[in-house]
Amino acid sequence: MTDPKDRLDALRADIERRNPGQPEFHQAVREVLDTLGPVLTARPQYAEAGLVERLLEPERQIIFRVPWTDDHGRVHVNRGYRVEFNSALGPYKGGLRFHPSVDIGVVKFLGFEQIFKNALTGLGIGGGKGGSDFDPHGKSAAEVMRFCQSFMTELARHIGEHTDIPAGDIGVGGREIGYLFGQYRRITNRWEAGVLTGKGQGWGGSVIRPEATGYGAVLFAAEMLKARGEALDGLSAVVSGSGNVALYTIEKLQQLGANPLTASDSSGYVVDDKGIDLALLKQIKEVERGRVSEYATRRGPSARFVRQGRVWEVPADVAFPSATQNELDVEDARTLIANGVKAVSEGANMPTTPEAVHLFQEAGVAFGPGKAANAGGVAVSALEMAQNASRVAWSRERVEDELAGIMRSIHAVSHETAERYGSPGDYVTGANIAGFERVADAMLAQGVI
Ligand code: NDP
């Protein structure tokens, strides 16, 4: 039989050949394949069933035209995507991203990661992802609404509460989910609450869903520190981004006694020596939909804005990349390590380049990969689906307890699996293998499909 390592190398080359021009997808695949050798050696039945080959090919990829009219009557055409990657564990589940950088390779990277992340939650959800190259920046609310309605007019035929359940991601928050849900309801004439998650409270949304990803990333960091006999209380933190994940990362850090010093967007970052004033940041980002630079102008002398700067140059004990893919590279990792960083917890998907991950691990920094660390969002989405199915809304205490329990269990299984496969403390290997085993066992049982 072929040596698992040779087989994985051949698969990697094959993926790159058959999916040209998709560097993010190649990167996400490489990062997983690099860790699967030991599990394929230990369990040859996976290789015999062609499991990895099947996992790498999405079950279905949908690409569609999204025409819409702006406020001046001009017609625009964007491209919409939904990649239904794997449904061995449950209906496809994963967010929608609206950002000019979205293409099929980006959606496939996100959908591929989502398979393992969703498996780690233990909640019976498959992996998928979607979005569009539509740029919501600078668009009026009416334009965003018309875009969402056009997007859903095509997407509606592919999704459903038992088939595929989208949610938010970059550029898609509560407002967009509302417009998408409204159009789905209009087209189908059904109150099918479980078709989208991240809905508003009062019409099927769950408490804690907006907070869940950021809260979860902080809880994961706390678990990693605890495993080393340390705590978050009193530590300083750097956080990138100023969207959904970043805001609630900052909130949970403050609740646990840590001091987040920064926030950023694509124009630069703010650093606040007194610690971020979250009420002011939320007012600017969530209410006014403004830029992070305004924070420095309004906050006073403790804060300054660094145009086009890298947030990672601010010295801190823990780091939370919470904006986008490949935002933390090897130079940033060197700076963070030189400044004594103890832990990095990925709120965003694949924000750390592979070389930077390697550096952190070599330097003994606790590194929580997004698949594990940011799984709190999709976990609470699955709890939203459970509430929708039973038509009962749970209390804040209950959802928060469930989220904390899920993050503890994701940490435990990643930690334990890494040890079992001879890589103690390596959460990348632990999370990849633990997620893979769950999906692989379900695929084995369900035959070659
Ligand atoms: P938002 O759209 O709410 O916020 C994104 C933030 O990141 C903004 O501050 C944005 O700045 C910044 N950003 C986005 N793209 C870039 C870029 N190319 N360069 C620099 N800054 C950028 O998105 P979310 O907070 O929801 O998502 C952030 C990350 O977390 C993504 O990687 C997402 O996939 C991941 N994630 C999100 C989950 C969720 O529940 N929402 C769940 C799990 C993971 P600007 O406004 O200037 O573009």
pLDDT in tens, 5-46: 898 999 999 999 999 999 999 999 999 999 999 999 999 999
Identity of residue 405? G
In the reported structure, the alpha carbon of residue 446 is separated from the centroid of ligand 1 by a whole-number distance in angstroms of: 36
Please work out whether the CB of residue 376 comes within 6 Å of at least one atom of ligand 1. no
For 124-169, write each residue's pLDDT tens digit. Answer: 999 999 999 999 999 999 999 999 999 999 999 999 999 999 999 9
Residue 352 has what DSSP assignment? B
Distance 169 CA to ligand 1 centre (A): 7
Q: Which ligand 1 atom lies nearest to the CA of residue 167?
A: 40
Do 212-373 and 58-193 have the same topology in CATH?
Answer: yes
59, two tokens: 């079950």
pLDDT band for position 4 (cuts 50, 70, 90): confident
Average pLDDT over all residues of the chain? 97
Tens of pLDDT, residue by residue over 378-388, are 999 999 999 99
For the beta carbon of residue 30, count every other beta carbon within 10 angstroms. 15
Mean pLDDT, range 45-50, rounded to an integer: 92
The sign of the torsion formed by the CA atoms of 289, 137, 170, 74 equals positive
Helix (H) or strand (E) holding 279: helix 278-282
Taking the C-alpha atoms of residue 366 and residue 221, their distance in angstroms, rounded to an integer, is: 8
Cα of first residue to Cα of last residue in the chain, in angstroms, is 23
Domain spanning 212-373: CATH superfamily: NAD(P)-binding Rossmann-like Domain (3.40.50.720)
Q: Is the CB of 205 under 6 A from ligand 1?
A: no
Are 415 and 227 within 8 A, CB to CB? yes
- Ligand 1 centroid–CA 64 distance in Å is 23
Domain boundaries, the chain: 4-55, 58-193, 212-373
Give the largest Cα separation in the chain, rounded: 67
The full 3-state SS of 295-346, as one line of letters, equals HHHHHCCCEEEEECCCHHHCCCCEEECCCCCCCECHHHHHHHHHCCCCEEEC
Residue whose Cα lies nearest atom 43 of ligand 1: it is 374
Are 26 and 422 in contact by the 8 Å Cβ rule? The answer is: no
172 alpha carbon – ligand 1 mean position (Å): 9
Instruction: With beta carbons less than 8 A apart as the criterion, state whether 269 and 306 touch.
Output: yes
β partners of residue 129: 83
Question: Which pairing describes strands 318-320 and 236-239: parallel, antiparallel, or unpaired?
Answer: parallel
Cβ atoms of 242 and 280 within 8 Å: the answer is no
Tokens linked to 310: 């890298």
Question: What is the pTM (predicted TM-score) of this model?
Answer: 0.97
The string over 39-60, giving b where at least 16 C-beta atoms fall within 10 Å of a residue's C-beta and e elsewhere, is: bbeeeeebbeeebbeebbebbe
Write down the CATH superfamily of domain 58-193: Leucine Dehydrogenase, chain A, domain 1 (3.40.50.10860)
Q: How far is CA 150 from CA 66, 156, 174, 187, 230, in A?
A: 6, 10, 18, 11, 50
Check 108, 129, 199, 342 and give the catalytic one: 129
Place 1 in a pLDDT band, splitting at 50, 70 and 90.
Answer: low
In the three-class reduction of DSSP (H, G, I as helix; E, B as strand; rest coil), residue 148 is classed as: helix
The predicted model gives 50-74 an average pLDDT of 97
84 three-state secondary structure: strand
- Cβ of 324 closer than 6 Å to ligand 1, yes or no, is yes
How far apart CA 294 and CA 122 sit, in angstroms, is 41
Is 129 a residue of the active site? Answer: yes
Instruction: Give all strands of the β-sheet with 60-69 in edge-to-edge order.
Output: 60-69, 75-86, 126-132, 92-98, 164-167
Q: What is the pLDDT of residue 20?
A: 98
Q: Could you read off the pLDDT of 390-435 as tens digits, one per residue?
A: 999 999 999 999 999 999 999 999 999 999 999 999 999 999 999 9
Please give the pLDDT value at position 2.
77
| Ligand 1 pocket mutation, candidates 165, 220, 266, 284, criterion most atoms within 8 A of CB | 266
CB 371 within 8 A of CB 116: yes
Residues 6+ apart with CB under 8 A from 300: none
Query: Exposed/middle/buried for 21, CB within 10 Å: 0-12, 13-18, 19+?
Result: exposed
Distance 349 CA to ligand 1 centre (A): 9
Residue ID of nearest Cα to ligand 1 atom 3: 243
87 C-beta closer than 6 A to ligand 1? no
**213 CB near ligand 1 (under 6 Å):** yes
Q: Is the CB–ligand 1 distance for residue 37 below 6 Å?
A: no
Q: Is 348 in the pocket of ligand 1 (CB under 6 A)?
A: yes
Ligand 1, residue 242: give the atom nearest the CA.
9
Q: Is the CB of 91 under 6 A from ligand 1?
A: no
Name the β-bridge partners of 303.
272
Per residue in 90-132, pLDDT (tens digit) is 999 999 999 999 999 999 999 999 999 999 999 999 999 999 9
pLDDT tens column, 339-375: 999 999 999 999 999 999 999 999 999 999 999 999 9
pLDDT at res. 227: 97
Of 176, 92, 164, nearest in space to 134 by CA: 176
Chain segment 191-233, per-residue pLDDT in tens: 999 999 999 999 999 999 999 999 999 999 999 999 999 999 9
Q: What does the DSSP 8-state code read for residue 248?
A: H
Ligand 1: which of 165, 244, 291 to mutate, judged by most atoms within 8 Å of the beta carbon?
A: 244
Measured by CA distance, the residue closest to atom 38 of ligand 1 is 169
Surface-to-core class of residue 70, CB atoms within 10 Å of its CB (0-12 exposed, 13-18 middle, 19+ buried): middle
The reply to whether ligand 1 has any atom less than 6 angstroms from the CB of 265 is yes
The protein residue whose alpha carbon is closest to atom 22 in ligand 1 is 266
Alpha-helical (H) ranges within 341-426 are 354-362, 370-373, 376-390, 396-420
Protein residue with least CA distance to atom 41, ligand 1: 169
Compute, in angstroms, the gap from residue 296 CA to the centroid of ligand 1.
20
Find, among 377, 443, 445, the residue nearest to 410 by Cα: 377
Mean pLDDT in residue range 273-300? 97
242 C-beta closer than 6 A to ligand 1: yes
Nearest to 320 by CA among 281, 365, 274, 373: 373
